[in-house]
């Protein structure tokens, strides 16, 4: 008997139209947990570094986390893993909603797609019955519309649908996979789905999931729920409102956007508007939100209502949450009504809400600078809002200049040349980042930005406050009930952290302390991504209900393999190292590990080198960021070491090229 997990994967060869239900090895679950962990193992075993994103040999894996579908509140994440066309490194995007629990109830932990379908298809999974069905009538349809049409066609209103829009069909490098109440957006995973000829994966399941020790598990779940109620009733004082409570940042409820609009950058992450937020703007934006927000909604088995249905006048209803509320508004120097309106079209087309607005603003900057000319934009409207709709349409259909822009700012700048690269200034590892530019280097964030292999800073940070509190009294009050820390020393680090003087950034926390803090933050995210837990209840907020002390108990009583904090930490380190090994094998080296040059105004090159050196050593990586033999053997990753030796990875260091993408190699896209 398998507990918490189904014990079976669905393997679908799209080229041959073959479908297999394959039993999984329970030992892998103990070593790599599930979700991202076992996805990384499969990618290592089956996708060698020569395989490009749009090769039929690339895999696209949809995984439900180890504890998805159990009564654990908020455990509903689908982890989609593939090789990214944007970075040619490993992409692992997460989505909430209802899809992953439904897959578990159908009797599977993962759907693994390989090959390419000759025609556009969708996959219909209803318990043991799995079909590849024609989707030619859905070509060109929006992602949300597709879900509706399929549910009607199948007469299955409760089926969960993960679908791509036109952007995915046209292999836009920042195409997302949309799922009604969530989306997996980063890394262009929707482009890989489109390249494989799959419009949607539809699931309906009616089976049970078994727990090893149900009474103990339910007791733990009850304790989590009690703590959620406590935290919701007692926001943390002294931190910004979106960090004071739990859940993904509560952007659908928060009306006061002074902090975002005055601290984040507008346009293509270029311009800060320090006095933007006035009473008039606040009143107007509140009215817009009140008019368009039709309902607050949650993901499966969660009371947090982080998302909302948005119904812009004259347009279909769609789901929104988080910072995508502002990305289009700020990129176009417009207002909230425009942002909520164009986000409807962008969701239907299926594009990443971080990358798409920056790419569009980038195009307009190039036009303004004379690097692109009016001839590149035939029929472009005069107004900013109209221009954004024009650009969105051209990008998702790869029309005209949109064909180049669809590769993202990094590759588009290379293709355009003539100084365009200067304008692609907000990338890490070739991918657009949060439009944020700051003054003084923050050593903790430096390490997270530089070394993170998830594709967004918000997917790495959390647990430790972003900045010191003003007074020692405030800090003492904060640490009093901070039981989530893995070690008491973190309380002291925070207590001694001052806004000015010797114990302030960039030299405090010290490099060693920074390493420990970053490692703790990253570890919790990686555990969430293997268990399928929403980061909004675990790794992202301060003082969350899930932490390193109760996770081992949940895994032991839920999945039935015994874990304590030491073995869980080691398992997380194992698959985190495997993710790094995958990217190392694909050419990633120290030279790739740097935040955007203009992310901070005040930089400290020597300190930054010391931080990176100290962190690499702390993680058991060599000076190029490659896991050492000792590290790999200690984690039971001997097979990685042997492969590295065979490929000469240790001797092929600083000059190793990162993989080229189709955009760079000039291959047809």
Give the Cα-Cα-Cα angle 19, 22, 28 (nearest 5 degrees): 140
Cis check for the bond before 601: say yes or no (omega within 30 of 0). no
Residue selected from 7, 65, 71, 74 as contacting ligand SF4 according to rule CB under 6 A: 74
Report the phi/psi class of residue 142: left, alpha or beta, with left for phi > 0 and alpha for psi in -120 to 50.
beta
The answer to whether the beta carbons of residues 259 and 240 sit under 8 Å apart is: yes
Between 96 and 312, CB nearer to ligand SF4: 96
Burial of 133 (0-12, 13-18, 19+ CB in 10 A): middle
Interacting residue with ligand SF4 among 79, 304, 363, 578 (CB under 6 A): 304
Residue 519 half-sphere exposure, CB side, CA atoms within 13 Å?
A: 23
**DSSP strand pairing (129-134 vs 121-126):** antiparallel
Assigned token pair, 112: 């693994």
**Sequential DSSP letters for 547-583:** -TTTHHHHHHHHHSS---HHHHHHHHHHHHHHHHHHH
- Residues 222-251, interacting with ligand SF4 (CB under 6 A): 247-248
Instruction: Choose among 204, 37, 16: nearest CA to 117.
Output: 16
Beta-strand runs (E) in 579-621: 600-602
Region of 116-124, 297-305, 544-552, 607-615 interacting with ligand SF4 (CB under 6 A):
297-305
Q: What angle do CA 395, 400, 402 make, to 5 degrees?
A: 20
The residue with tokens 């393997």 is: 11
Between residue 507 and residue 546, which ones bind ligand SF4 under the rule CB under 6 A? 534, 536-537
Mark the segment that binds ligand SF4 (CB under 6 A) among 298-306, 405-413, 427-435, 477-485: 298-306
Q: How far is the CB of 310 from ligand SF4 (least distance, A)?
A: 16
Q: Residue 40 or 100: which CB sits closer to ligand SF4? A: 100
Which C-beta is closer to ligand SF4: that of 299 or that of 351? 299
* Closest distance to ligand SF4 from the beta carbon of 319 (Å): 11
Q: Which stretch binds ligand SF4 (CB under 6 A): 111-119, 294-302, 337-345, 551-559?
A: 294-302
Residue 180 lies near ligand SF4 (rule: CB under 6 A): no
Residues 467-506 that bind ligand SF4 (CB under 6 A): none
Binding to ligand SF4 (CB under 6 A): which residues in 12-51?
A: none
CB of 179 vs ligand SF4, minimal distance in Å: 12
State residue 487 phi and psi, 5-degree precision: -155, 140
Nearest distance, CB of residue 298 and ligand SF4, angstroms? 4
Could you tell me which residues are beta bridge partners of residue 81? 61, 92
Choose between 76 and 539: whose C-beta lies nearer to ligand SF4: 76
Among 189, 169, 201, 184, which Cα is nearest to 349's? 169
State which residue, 69 or 85, has the beta carbon closest to ligand SF4: 69
Q: Given candidates 38, 76, 160, 185, which one binds ligand SF4 under the rule CB under 6 A?
A: 76
3-state helix, strand, coil in the chain (%, to 5): 45, 15, 45
Selected range binding ligand SF4 among 275-283, 301-309, 342-350, 441-449, rule: CB under 6 A: 301-309
Choice between 83 and 242, CB closer to ligand SF4: 242
Task: Read off the DSSP letter of residue 373.
Answer: -
- Residue number with CB closer to ligand SF4 (135 or 460): 460
Rg (CA), the chain: 23
Question: In 384-428, which ranges are E strands?
Answer: 427-428
In angstroms, the Cα distances linking 185 to 91, 104, 324 are 10, 22, 11
Residue 8 CB, nearest distance to ligand SF4 (Å)?
25
Closer by beta carbon to ligand SF4, 104 or else 580 = 104
Residue 321 or residue 475: which is nearer to ligand SF4 going by CB?
Answer: 321
Identify the DSSP state of 441: -
Among 29, 268, 298, 442, binds ligand SF4 (CB under 6 A): 298
Q: Please, which residue, 248 or 334, has the CB nearer to ligand SF4?
A: 248
Q: Is 310 in the site for ligand SF4 (CB under 6 A)?
A: no
By CB under 6 A, residue 588 contacts ligand SF4: no
Establish if 72 lies at the interface with ligand SF4 (CB under 6 A). Answer: no
Query: Of the two residues 395 and 554, which places its CB atom closer to ligand SF4 in the complex?
Result: 554
Q: C-alpha distances in angstroms, 546 versus 33, 387, 436, 542?
A: 16, 44, 29, 11
Which range, of 28-36, 41-49, 296-304, 490-498, touches ligand SF4 by CB under 6 A?
296-304
Q: In angstroms, rounded to a whole number, what is the distance separating the alpha carbons of residues 37 and 552?
A: 16
CA distance 496 to 486: 18
Q: Which is nearer to ligand SF4, 326 or 371 (CB)?
A: 326
Residue 406 binds ligand SF4, judged by CB under 6 A: no
Q: Could you give the angle at the alpha carbon of 236 between the alpha carbons of 235 and 239, nearest 5°?
A: 120
State the nearest-atom distance from the C-beta of 306 to ligand SF4, in Å: 3
Contacts with ligand SF4, 78-107, as mask; x by CB under 6 A = ------------------x-----------
Residue 343 vs 534, nearer CB to ligand SF4: 534
The edge-to-edge listing of strands for the beta sheet with 8-13 is 18-23, 8-13, 110-114, 60-64, 78-83, 90-95
Total residues in contact with ligand SF4, by rule CB under 6 A: 13
Q: Name the residue among 247, 337, 154 with its Cα closest to residue 538.
A: 247
Shortest distance, CB of residue 77 to ligand SF4, whole angstroms? 8
Site string (106-145) toward ligand SF4, x via CB under 6 A: ----------------------------------------
**Quick one: 76 or 431, whose CB is closer to ligand SF4?**
76
Give me the least distance between CB of 304 and ligand SF4, in Å please.
4
Tokens for 154, please give them.
């199948």
- Which residues does 422 contact at the CB level (< 8 Å), separation at least 6? none
**Looking at beta carbons only, is 24 or 76 nearer to ligand SF4?**
76
- φ, ψ dihedrals at 515, nearest 5°: -60, -45
- Look-up: residue for tokens 């190039």? 366
List of residues contacting ligand SF4 (CB under 6 A): 74, 76, 96, 247-248, 298-299, 302, 304, 306, 534, 536-537
């Amino acid at each position: 008997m398998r507990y918490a997990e189904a014990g079976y994967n669905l393997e679908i060869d799209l080229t041959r139209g073959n479908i297999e239900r394959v039993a999984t090895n329970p030992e892998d679950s103990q070593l790599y947990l599930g979700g991202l962990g076992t996805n990384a193992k499969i990618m290592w075993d089956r996708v060698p570094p020569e395989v490009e994103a749009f090769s039929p040999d690339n895999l696209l894996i949809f995984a439900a986390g180890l504890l998805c579908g159990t009564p654990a509140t908020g455990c509903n994440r689908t982890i989609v893993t593939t090789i990214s066309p944007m970075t040619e490194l490993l992409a692992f995007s997460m989505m909430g909603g209802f899809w992953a629990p439904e897959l578990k109830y159908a009797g599977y932990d993962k759907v693994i797609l390989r090959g390419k379908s000759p025609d556009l298809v969708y996959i219909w999974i209803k318990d043991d019955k799995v079909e590849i069905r024609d989707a030619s009538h859905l070509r060109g349809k929006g992602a949300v519309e597709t879900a509706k049409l399929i549910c009607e066609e199948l007469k299955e209103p409760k089926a969960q649908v993960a679908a791509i829009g036109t952007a995915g069909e046209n292999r836009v490098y920042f195409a997302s996979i949309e799922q009604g109440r969530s989306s997996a957006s980063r890394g262009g995973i929707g482009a890989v789905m489109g390249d494989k000829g799959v419009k949607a994966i539809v699931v309906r399941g009616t089976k049970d999931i078994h727990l090893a020790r149900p009474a103990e598990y339910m007791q733990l779940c009850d304790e989590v729920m009690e703590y959620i109620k406590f935290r919701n009733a007692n926001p943390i004082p002294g931190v910004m409102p979106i960090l004071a409570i739990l859940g993904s940042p509560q952007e659908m409820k928060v009306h006061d956007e002074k902090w975002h609009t005055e601290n984040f950058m507008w346009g293509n992450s270029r311009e800060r508007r320090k006095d933007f937020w006035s009473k008039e703007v606040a009143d107007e934006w509140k009215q817009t939100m009140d008019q368009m927000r039709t309902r607050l909604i949650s993901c499966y088995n969660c009371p947090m209502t982080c998302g909302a249905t948005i119904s812009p006048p004259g347009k279909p209803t769609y789901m929104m949450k988080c910072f995508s509320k502002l990305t289009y508004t700020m990129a176009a120097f417009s207002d909230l009504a425009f942002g909520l309106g164009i986000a409807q079209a962008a969701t239907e087309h299926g594009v990443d809400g971080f990358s798409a607005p920056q790419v569009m603003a980038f195009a307009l900057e190039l036009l303004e600078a004379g690097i692109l000319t009016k001839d590149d934009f035939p029929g472009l409207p005069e107004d900013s809002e109209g221009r954004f709709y024009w650009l969105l349409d051209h990008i998702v259909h790869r029309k005209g200049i949109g064909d180049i822009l669809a590769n993202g700012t990094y590759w588009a700048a290379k293709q355009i040349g003539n100084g365009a690269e200067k304008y692609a200034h907000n990338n890490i590892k070739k991918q657009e980042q949060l439009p944020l530019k700051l003054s003084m280097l923050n050593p903790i964030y430096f390490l997270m930005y530089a070394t993170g292999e998830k594709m967004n800073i918000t997917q790495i940070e959390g647990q430790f406050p972003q900045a010191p509190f003003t007074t020692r009294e405030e800090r003492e009050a904060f640490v009093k009930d901070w039981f989530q820390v893995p070690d008491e020393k973190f309380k002291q680090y925070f207590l001694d952290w001052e806004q000015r003087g010797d114990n302030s950034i960039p030299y405090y926390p010290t490099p060693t302390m920074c390493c420990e803090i970053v490692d703790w933050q990253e570890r919790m995210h990686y555990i969430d991504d293997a268990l399928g837990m929403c980061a909004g209840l675990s790794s992202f907020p301060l003082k969350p209900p899930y932490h390193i002390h109760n996770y081992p108990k949940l895994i032991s009583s839920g999945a039935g393999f015994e874990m304590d904090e030491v073995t869980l930490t080691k398992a997380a380190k194992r698959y985190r190292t495997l993710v790094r090994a995958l990217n190392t094998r694909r050419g990633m080296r120290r030279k790739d590990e740097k935040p955007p040059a203009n992310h901070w105004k005040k930089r400290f090159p020597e300190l930054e080198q010391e931080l990176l050196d100290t962190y690499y050593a702390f993680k058991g990586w060599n000076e190029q960021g490659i896991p050492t033999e000792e590290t790999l053997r200690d984690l039971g990753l001997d097979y990685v070491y042997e492969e590295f030796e065979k490929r000469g990875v240790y001797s092929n260091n600083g000059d190793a090229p990162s993989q080229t993408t189709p955009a760079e190699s000039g291959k047809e896209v």
